[in-house]
């Protein structure tokens, strides 16, 4: 077993790290305060290939692999979790299912603009009553000639406010539950799509989290993604891969908070010495680093299994669960090491503490991840 990154992955990591330090890190606090990521930064991320990391070059992607994608999200999230989740949701929840389930015509039509950042992608699954229960989808559709007509509502849609490209889940017969669901590729600037609101959140405030109403939204028949009645399969496969992105985001948040706590512990003096000389602080740092490294191994393993074409369902659930709980733990400890200053918005750990919690919730709560893991163990 080789735990070293390849030379290509190291070059990618260093390149992204330089870009983050120069272009994203200086804007991180402003992004949080203004609740928006500047369009110029989104454009730069597209030009860098960060929005199409593992997508093939023939569709305008960077032609890398899933591990590269995890590294990209991790490095960006060290400085700005809002930017990290933009990349994660865009790539794995929209471009990913189009790549996996789309026809050649659909890939040629939709992926180039997504990979360049001309369009920002999202995944319209979550609903007010169904939540994470994809089988409980209440949004409906019917066929009218060469079109599908969709009606319903969606909430908590990451990247929705960009009104770019969306993968929408809807049911033709709710009594069939998961067997009645289909997936569609939708231009969110289409008539019939209305933004109800962009949520005002505790953390990742620069990321759009949008509620939509879909009223007689007409979608061309050629926009059906995969086979009719197989949308649940699209959703499960998409969420499975998406958990790697959330784990990478959580890992980056934890690493960013740890780096700042470690540096602060060396600078801050109390009782005539640096606080890092106190065993209590040393124990905190040791626990934080150990959890981070464990999360990194799980996350990278899940990405490598996906790259190898092997089953990675359990590993994706484990890495998402462990990394997100690590992010919450590490940011809390980082804030504690900063003492009163950690509670002040001038210090980045305050923002990271707020950003971390959502990683335990979206892409399915960690209780759901435990259900997935335990069912696989017992099957």
Same domain, 291 and 331: yes
Residues 57 and 183 in one domain: no
Measure the CA–CA gap between 239 and 247, rounded to whole angstroms. 12
Tell whether the model's pLDDT for residue 94 goes beyond 80. yes
What is the pLDDT confidence band of residue 130, given thresholds at 50, 70 and 90? confident
Same domain, 238 and 373: yes
* Number of helical H runs and strand E runs in the chain: 12, 10
Instruction: Answer yes or no: do 209 and 277 share one domain.
Output: no
Among 229, 245, 273, the domain-final residue is: 229
pLDDT over 90 at 9, yes or no:
yes
pLDDT tens column, 104-127: 999 999 999 999 999 999 999 999
Give me the CATH number covering residue 39.
Answer: 1.10.540.10
Q: Which of 215, 135, 150 lies closest to 180, judged by CA? A: 135
For residue 133, the model assigns a pLDDT of 77
How far lies 366's CA from each of 96, 178, 323, in Å? Answer: 22, 22, 10
Query: In terms of DSSP bridges, do strands 273-274 and 147-158 run parallel, antiparallel, or are they unpaired?
Result: unpaired
> Which H or E element spans position 365?
none
Verify that 136 and 270 share a domain, yes or no. no
State residue 182's pLDDT score. Answer: 98
User: Which of 211, 229, 247 is the last residue in one of the domains?
Assistant: 229
- Domain enclosing residue 27, as ranges: 7-120
| Total tally of structural domains belonging to the chain | 3
- Would you state the pLDDT for residue 169? 97
8 Å CB contact between 244 and 54:
no
Q: What CATH number has the domain bearing residue 128?
A: 2.40.110.10
Give backbone dihedrals phi and psi of 18, rounded to 5 degrees, phi first: -65, -45
> What's the pLDDT score for residue 364?
80
Residue 1 lies in a domain: no
2 located within any domain: no
Instruction: Provide, rounded to the nearest whole percent, the portion of the chain with pLDDT above 70.
Output: 100
Active-site annotation, residues: 363
- pLDDT score, position 353: 98
Q: Which of 210, 229, 248 is the last residue of a domain?
A: 229
């Amino acid at each position: 077993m080789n735990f070293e990154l390849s030379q290509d992955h190291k070059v990618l990591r260093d390149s992204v790290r330089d870009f983050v330090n120069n272009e994203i890190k200086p804007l991180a606090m402003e992004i949080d305060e203004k609740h928006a990521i500047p369009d110029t930064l989104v454009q730069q991320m597209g030009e860098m290939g960060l929005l199409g990391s593992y997508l093939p070059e023939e569709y305008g992607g960077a032609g890398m692999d899933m591990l590269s994608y995890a590294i990209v999200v991790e490095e960006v999230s060290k400085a700005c979790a809002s930017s990290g989740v933009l990349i994660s949701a865009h790539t794995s929840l929209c471009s990913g299912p189009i790549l996996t389930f789309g026809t050649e015509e659909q890939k040629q039509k939709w992926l180039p603009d997504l990979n360049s950042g001309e369009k920002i992608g999202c995944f319209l699954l979550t609903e007010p009553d169904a939540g994470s229960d994809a089988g409980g989808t209440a949004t409906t559709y019917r066929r009218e000639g060469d079109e599908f007509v969709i009606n319903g509502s969606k909430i908590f849609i990451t990247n929705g406010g960009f009104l770019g490209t969306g993968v929408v889940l809807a049911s033709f017969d709710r009594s069939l539950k998961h067997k009645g669901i289909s997936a569609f590729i939708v231009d969110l600037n289409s008539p019939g799509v209305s933004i109800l609101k962009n949520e005002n959140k505790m953390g990742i405030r620069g990321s759009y989290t949008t509620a939509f109403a879909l009223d007689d939204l007409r979608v061309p028949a050629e926009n059906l993604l995969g086979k009719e009645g197989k949308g649940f399969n699209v959703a499960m496969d998409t969420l499975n891969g998406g958990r790697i992105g959330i784990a990478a985001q959580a890992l980056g948040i934890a690493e960013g908070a740890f780096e700042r706590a470690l540096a602060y512990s060396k600078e801050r003096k109390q009782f005539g010495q640096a606080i890092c000389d106190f065993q209590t602080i040393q124990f905190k740092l040791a626990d934080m680093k150990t959890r981070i490294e464990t999360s990194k191994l799980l996350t990278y393993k899940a990405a490598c299994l996906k790259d190898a074409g092997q089953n990675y369902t359990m590993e994706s659930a484990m890495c998402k669960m462990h990394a997100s709980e690590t992010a919450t733990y590490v940011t809390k400890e980082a804030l504690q090491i900063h003492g009163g200053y950690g509670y002040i918005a001038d210090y980045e750990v305050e923002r990271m503490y707020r950003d971390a919690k959502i990683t335990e919730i979206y892409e399915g709560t960690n209780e759901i991840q435990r259900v997935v893991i335990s069912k696989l163990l017992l099957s």
